[in-house]
Amino acid sequence: MQLEQARPVVGDDTRERLLTAALSQFAERGFYGASIAQIAGELDLTKQALLYYFKRKEDLYSEVLRRISQRLLSAMRSGVDENASPDAQFEGMILAIYEEAMKRPLDTRVLLRELLENQERAEKAGSWYLKPFLNEIVEPLNRVEDLMNIPAPRKFAAVYQMLGAIEYFAISRPTLSRMYGEAEYHRIAQAFPAELRAQIRRFIECGQGC
């Protein structure tokens, strides 16, 4: 499985290249640790040149988060068979998210840093880029007959638990590879989707009886 690398976009599209550099810096340093000067410096640009495209660091960061959300939505929807049952659609979504997280570790690191660091900004946030993504994942569960009467917070909690497991594993490759070796890490990664499926089946088959 090929892992994403943060490399400049080929061509003269400076805005796109800035977003690529910003993704790398925010993944490595977080919102507060990354600076406009560092991001511009990756492309041998001045701080003023970056500010021509994005007036504030917050604007650049918001666009990075918006694009991550778009990529997740696109990947999730690609895993949905419209002719499948709601529970099969949900499983397809979760597995597609796993594949996306494994291919784009920088996206995953930005998201995890955001959850850790955004408490102060959350009180002033005007846009929640991941909310449509989260809402769309839960939606198929509302159409599973055995889960229709389960309270919405419990469904959301189950989904969030699965997403947490995916995101945590997706950024663990360097540590796990050093601890157990690259070959063993790949065996674990190959087994991970089956464990996700088992978790999904337990939740759906449990229904109201758990």
Interatomic CA distance for residues 95 and 76, integer angstroms: 8
* Residue 120, pLDDT score: 67
What is this structure's pTM?
0.84
* Residue 99, pLDDT score: 94
* Residue 114, pLDDT score: 86
Distance of CA 28 to the CA centre of its chain: 15
40 CB-near residues (< 8 Å, 6+ apart): 18, 21, 46, 47, 49, 50
Q: Domain ranges for the chain, please list them.
A: 61-209
DSSP state letters, 85-142: -HHHHHHHHHHHHHHHHHH-HHHHHHHHHHHHH-HHHHTT-S--TTHHHHHHHHGGGG
Which CATH fold would you assign to the domain 61-209?
Tetracycline Repressor; domain 2 (1.10.357)
* Residue 209, pLDDT score: 61
**Can you give the pLDDT of all 210 residues of the chain as single tens digits?**
444 444 443 345 889 999 999 999 999 999 999 999 999 988 888 888 888 899 999 999 999 999 999 999 999 999 888 899 999 999 999 999 999 999 999 999 999 888 888 766 666 666 677 888 888 999 999 999 888 888 999 999 999 999 999 999 999 999 999 999 999 999 999 999 999 999 999 988 876 566
Interatomic CA distance for residues 72 and 197, integer angstroms: 19
Distance of CA 143 to the CA centre of its chain: 25
